[in-house]
Amino acid sequence: MKIKCDFCKTEYGLDRAPTTPVKCAVCGHCWSVPVPARRSAYLMFFASVCALLSAIVFTVAVITRHQATHNERGPLLTNIAQVTTTTDEGGVSRLVVNGSVINISDQIYGVPDLIIVSSDDDGRILARQKFMPSATLLDAGASVDFSHVLAPQPSGVRKISAHLADIQPSDTKPKEQK
């Protein structure tokens, strides 16, 4: 490659790009030779690989944290997919809650009753309704869908959430009734 002294414009021919600042033999001026384009392309590639790797690590960290949250909440999760409305024979509009219960553990669990909680904008609970999902047992990793028509709702309901009543692993003895 050819380099040129910034100061006296003397040209020098070099076999390869110098990695350290060079000194002009004529005027003694010192300067850094810019890295050639090929090398910077390589650096760009390296930087993008690093960025990609850190993105993957970040994703894994997020997923792990998400899983941890699941575990804190127990082996079964409820998920509301959709809330629709239907009109019954009396012409009353009813909310229909569609969702699923998922067993995220590695053992079989009995499906408990589900409690649908209706709350307002400020999170105040306006109504609770309990019902039984169609499945009684959930295999590890399995899920069951539910669709439940709610009783007429009080006004001001903005949020519908599904909760599980007490759950127990199927291989443990149920608590004795007092």
For 111, other C-beta atoms within 10 Å of its C-beta total: 22
| Residue among 136, 79, 76 at smallest CA distance from 106 | 76
Instruction: Find the binder of Zn ion among 24, 97, 162, 164 (CB under 5 A).
Output: 24
Of 22 and 157, which has the nearer Cβ to Zn ion?
22
Show the CA angle centred on residue 175, arms to residues 172 and 178, nearest 5°.
165
Three-state SS for 166? coil
Instruction: Find the binder of Zn ion among 14, 17, 27, 57 (CB under 5 A).
Output: 27
**How many residues would you count in the chain?**
178
Instruction: Find the binder of Zn ion among 1, 4, 17, 29 (CB under 5 A).
Output: 29
Instruction: Find the binder of Zn ion among 4, 7, 45, 50 (CB under 5 A).
Output: 7
Residue type at 114 in one-letter notation: L
For residue 28, the minimal CB distance to Zn ion (Å) is: 7
Beta strands 93-103; 143-149: pairing state = antiparallel
Which part of the chain contacts Zn ion (CB under 5 A), choosing from 20-28, 78-86, 110-118, 157-165? Answer: 20-28
Residue 47 in the binding site for Zn ion (CB under 5 A) = no
- Residue nearest to Zn ion as judged by C-beta position: 24
Of 26 and 137, which has the nearer Cβ to Zn ion?
26
For residue 2, the minimal CB distance to Zn ion (Å) is: 14
Q: Quote the tokens at residue 122.
A: 């400020």
Let me know: does 119 contact 91? Beta carbons within 8 Å: no
Residues that bind Zn ion (CB under 5 A): 5, 7-8, 10, 24, 26-27, 29
